[in-house]
Structure 1
Amino acid sequence: MASDAADTTDAANTADIADIAGTTDGDATTGTADGTGTDTGKRGGRPGLRTAAAAALAVALLGGLWGLGFLHLPKPGHEPGGPGKPAECAAPRPTDKPGYPALCAALNRPDLPALLGTPEDRVTVAQPAPITFGTDVMAEVRLTHTVVSLLDSSTSLEDTRDMRRVYTWPATVLGHPAATYWSNATSVIPGGKLGPATRNIVVAQDPAAPGGRAFEVVVFRDDGLTPDEATLTRLAETVLPTVPGWVPAP
């Protein structure tokens, strides 16, 4: 099941790039929206879906850069804080969104290794994500074998569900509608292999507005292991209520 979903998501990455350009795989030449050759007047496509595709591509490319070693996981004893010291959130860069410090503080918590099911692990790096899109804000925390990203996204839960050929599974996080899905890091080398499988959970920030902004938590490991649904949900339930923008369910 996981392998099939990952293969399907890889195909969706290619198809959704066409959405960013305002075309579909049904008729990429004319830019028609229904693939029939008839101009539907929707050459731009749904803005939310184009945003969703671009955000998904940015997350996938992060994995591709990691696969080349540009985003390597630090070895124990070579962390910025020194051996045995927990990593603190890196200072924001001039280009970082104002929301980065709060996201990093929420994600870089002492019990993060335990939440991931690896209590013996520890955080080595906490920093802004190298790639963001539009108004999205992203922080990432790296452990010995794991990278966890937290995204405050303009891509809604509904947009994620509507991305073509992306299989999502419905979920609920503290009364908020949510969805989980599998993805894969995308190689930045033509013909390169897929990177590590990732687990993603997208949660509506407002339980009454699944079409509004969402939080997304992404987890991938360099050893090929992936967290199960319970771990992914537990992580979201613990972290997200501490992030600005979270609206408690009534």
Structure 2
Amino acid sequence: NFFRNIGLERRNDNILSSYSFANSDHQYAVEDDPSSYCQSSLKSLTIGQKQICLLHADHMPVVIQGASKGIEECQNQFQDRHWNCSTVRDGTVFGPVLYHANRETAFTHAMLSAGVTYAVSRACKQGLLKSCTCSRAARPKNLPRDWAWGGCGDNIDYGYRFGRDFVDTPEKEVNPNIIDSPVSFINTNQTNVENEMKRKPLRRSRIRRQMNIHNNEAGRRAVYRLTRVVCKCHGVSGSC
């Protein structure tokens, strides 16, 4: 799963060394074959995420940095708590706590999702990605008429969409209708109790996936809602 360990790969020289700046615009590009890179170097990605990687290989170092920022922020906010977001190298990042549906798991999903959204939005502004540029947000209605509207803002709309597609993919790769299909589980030779016992784990799995998607969305919305317009006044006249 994406949330398990991609955020720790920021410190992996083999991952980030696969990238170079492709042109004078300083955009990221993969030096090796994208197919080999997405399949071999980023082993923690799911099948759906690897497909996104093939289409947007230049986004991956930004995603890694965003997830890493999410981990760092989690550790910062919980540094004085008994559970302090400490990381382990067992594929879970935060240890067995993520196996359970609890507040800590919910927070880590939201924080990592927010980190990816923020990082991609900022990378668009910096010109690091081929498929996005500066924000095209309309001029705010409350902006004074004598103030100029321009500059290059973080593309929060693109960051939100890409973050949603990439981060939520693992939760959507399982057929959501399988639990409601009587053919898949009901065996006429078994009792109703036995059939119900088969349904329960899958029903819990569906609820857990829905919870993860909800928490991912909470992280993205936090970034989206906290984004604000900043006007700069400069020059001798102090014009804005």
Same fold? TM cut 0.5: no
TM-score normalised per structure 1 = 0.26
Comparing both structures, which one devotes a greater share of its residues to helix?
A: 2
TM-score normalised per structure 2 = 0.26
